[in-house]
Each structure stands twice: as C-alpha cells, then as structure tokens.
Amino acid sequence: MTGSTTRRVTANLSLTLDGRYSGPGGAADLGAILPYATTEVARRHLARIWDGATTAVLGRRNAEGFLGFWPAVAADEHADPRDRGYAKWLVDAEKVVFSTTLTEAPWDRARVVNAPAADVVAELKAAGGGDILVNSSASVIKALLAADLLDRLYLMICPEIAGGGARLFDDGLPASKWRLTHHETGELGETAVVYDRAR
C-alpha cells in the first residue's frame, strides 16, 4: 500500500456454496473443495494470494499440514510453476503460527504465539513491510473478521453444497462492506474472488 505505514492484512480460504470450509465429517472433510484445488483458476488464484506478502499467519493445524506438503513442492523441479512459486514463498517467508499446544516452531523462519490473533496481527501491522497473509486458517480469519482487521479476502468458491461442517461467516460478526476487485470462473464452475474491505 503506497503511502501507508501500516501493512495490509489479507486472508485466503476455499468455501462451498453454503459457506463451509470443511464438510460434515470434520476438519479433514474437504471432499467438496479438493476437486477444485488444482484447476487453472485455482492455480492462478494461488499465485495471486502471496503476491506482495512477506508474512504468513497460520493456525497450528495448517502449519503442521503445510509442513508435510509444501517444502517438497518447493524442491520439485517438475511441479507446476505456480505451485512451486507459492511453496518457495511459504518456506522462505516469515511465519507466525498460532497455537496453545506447540512449544517450538515447526518450521524455519517461524515463531509460535499463544495470544489473541487480533492483538498479534495489530502488532504485525504496525511493524515491517509487505502484506500479512492469513493462510487458509479459518479460526484466525474468524477472529480478525470479528475485530475488523482484514483488508482483503481471497476466496475460492466451490460449486457444491456440503450440507454440514464449519462455516466461515458465523452469526454475530460486525457488519462490514466489501468491494469486489477480481473474479474469475473456471470450467467446473469454481470461482476465484477477491474482495477488499470498503472503509
């Protein structure tokens, strides 16, 4: 953000048509989302989310899952260049991992924090440069929506109704307005959208 001393806080998440980031089977139930994760639209969206970001914010579950997957992609010369670009960025970026159970960071260039997400992100906003990307960690995104600290939402909308599971937009969030700044629809009906907070 040119001319600003604070950093933009962005968040990335895939949702079903009924607003769920996981299905009725629990956090690992991604059956309505995974079929759309490697489409051309999804890969272009992935390349978009980390452009300009210097810090990745993750919940513990995502941090541990990403650790088991993305470093290998970063090292794979045959991987899709968009996947590899994101993987290299994630490995090299500053990472802040929210956890009440971890005692040490699961990655290089990572630190574990056990504090309210809004407080930590407000501190990050006031220091350093580049965007802060909350990377597919719904619990952190929810906390930042509640505190009105998100400046941009990168959403992949998957054309399925999960019929159960965790929702991103819970009742009780403060009212807010958002401006659509990008959208793209793929052959399977998946839609990548970018919304900026209208303040």
CATH number at residue 90: 3.40.430.10
Please say if the pLDDT value at position 3 is more than 50: no
Q: Count structural domains, the chain.
A: 1
Q: Phi/psi zone of residue 136: left (φ > 0), alpha (ψ -120 to 50 degrees), beta? A: left
Shortest CA distance to 31 belongs to which of 16, 18, 53, 46?
16
Please say if the pLDDT value at position 105 is more than 50: yes
Element (H, E) at 46: helix 40-49
Please say if the pLDDT value at position 194 is more than 60: yes
pTM summary value? 0.93
User: Cα separation of 183 and 154, whole Å?
Assistant: 10
pLDDT tens-digit map of 112-161? 999 999 999 999 999 889 999 999 999 999 999 999 999 999 999 999 99
Burial of 96 (0-12, 13-18, 19+ CB in 10 A): buried
Q: Which domain holds residue 131?
A: 9-198
Do the domain assignments include residue 79?
A: yes
Do the domain assignments include residue 113?
A: yes
Please say if the pLDDT value at position 38 is more than 70: yes
Do the domain assignments include residue 1?
A: no
Q: In angstroms, what CA-CA distances link 140 with 48, 160, 180?
A: 20, 24, 22
